[in-house]
């Protein structure tokens, strides 16, 4: 299997299952099930998976496309946020597992579906909620946050060096008309940045910042890491794939802290990245970094 399906192309697929050491009858939790690419490879190798996702579309896709695995007990799908992985695992008989995966990327389906509002590539509503039961959207943040709050948001979560003029432009624009679509926001940011970020779309960091804020992504990760490690059996492994420096920093720091607490050891002294072949096949793999922690 290559981890590619109509929903999502999994990154670092073989690396993940190799580090997990997937075995026949082993039990694994996938805290970000998405399109189930990693889970499918775990099934193929004889593993049993608890698939967790907060996105209703992902769960619907999984129930449709993995009916046989669900029917024979190879897969259990549950809705939830991986920050509550301890409760979700306990309630579903996965409180003591051989391995856990957290793939922190936005799925191809989310990015490629205009109605979800994750991408500046096509016009859509400024939503960005991974769980559409959440109350606050990206549009809400752009409507209510002050210029100073927008500056802090883009600086902290987007590491955007032009955060101040972007925030100023957003406030001026919304006085004339409420900002409602990804296209409108992309145009506002592009007018300010215009060539300031070689190699990436001008709005990339602003969209990242809004998405992180809407979904509370960094706090979710901080909370989830120690909980996940506590669920592992002796020598069980936690694999985390991050896609930007803010996430990777949290994973690196969290793993080192747990190593100091003698909970286990960091397996990957440097993050594992995709090879040239994979990045040529899947451009979204270019920024992926895999770190692995083994429970003592």
Q: Which CATH class is domain 13-109+217-295?
A: alpha beta
- Domain extents in the chain: 13-109+217-295, 117-215
- Strand-pair category, 264-266 with 289-295: antiparallel
Whole-number pLDDT of residue 174: 98
Q: Which CATH class is domain 117-215?
A: mainly alpha
Q: Which residues does the chain have with pLDDT short of 70?
A: 1-8, 195-199
Whole-number pLDDT of residue 1: 42
Separation of alpha carbons 137 and 128, rounded Å: 6
Whole-number pLDDT of residue 198: 66
Whole-number pLDDT of residue 90: 97
- What DSSP string runs through 99-146? EEEEE-SPPHHHHH-GGG---SSS--BS---SSTT-S--HHHHHHH--
């Amino acid at each position: 299997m290559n981890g590619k399906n109509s929903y999502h192309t999994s990154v670092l697929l073989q690396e993940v299952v190799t580090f997990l050491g997937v075995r026949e009858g082993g039990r694994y939790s996938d805290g970000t099930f998405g399109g189930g690419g990693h889970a499918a490879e775990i099934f193929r190798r004889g593993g049993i998976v608890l698939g967790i996702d907060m996105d209703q579309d992902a769960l619907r896709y999984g129930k449709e496309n993995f009916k046989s695995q669900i029917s024979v007990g190879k897969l259990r799908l549950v809705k939830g946020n991986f920050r509550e992985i301890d409760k979700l695992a306990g309630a579903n008989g996965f409180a003591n597992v051989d391995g856990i995966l957290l793939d922190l990327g936005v799925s191809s389906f989310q990015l490629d579906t205009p109605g979800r509002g994750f991408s500046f590539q096509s016009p859509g509503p400024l939503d960005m909620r991974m769980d559409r039961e959440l109350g606050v959207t990206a549009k809400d943040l752009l409507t209510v946050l002050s210029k100073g709050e927008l500056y802090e948001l883009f600086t902290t979560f987007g590491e955007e060096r032009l955060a101040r003029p972007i925030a100023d432009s957003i406030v001026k624009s919304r006085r004339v008309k409420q900002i409602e679509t990804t296209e409108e926001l992309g145009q506002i940011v592009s007018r300010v940045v215009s060539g300031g970020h070689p190699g990436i779309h001008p709005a990339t960091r602003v969209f990242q910042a809004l998405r992180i804020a809407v979904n509370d992504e960094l706090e979710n990760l901080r909370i989830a890491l120690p909980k996940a490690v506590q669920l592992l059996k002796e020598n069980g492994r936690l694999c985390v794939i991050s896609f930007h420096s803010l996430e990777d920093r949290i994973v690196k720091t969290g793993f080192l802290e747990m190593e100091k607490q003698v909970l286990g050891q960091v397996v990957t002294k440097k993050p594992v990245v995709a090879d040239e072949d994979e990045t040529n096949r899947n451009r979204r793999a270019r920024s992926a970094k895999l770190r692995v922690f083994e429970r003592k």
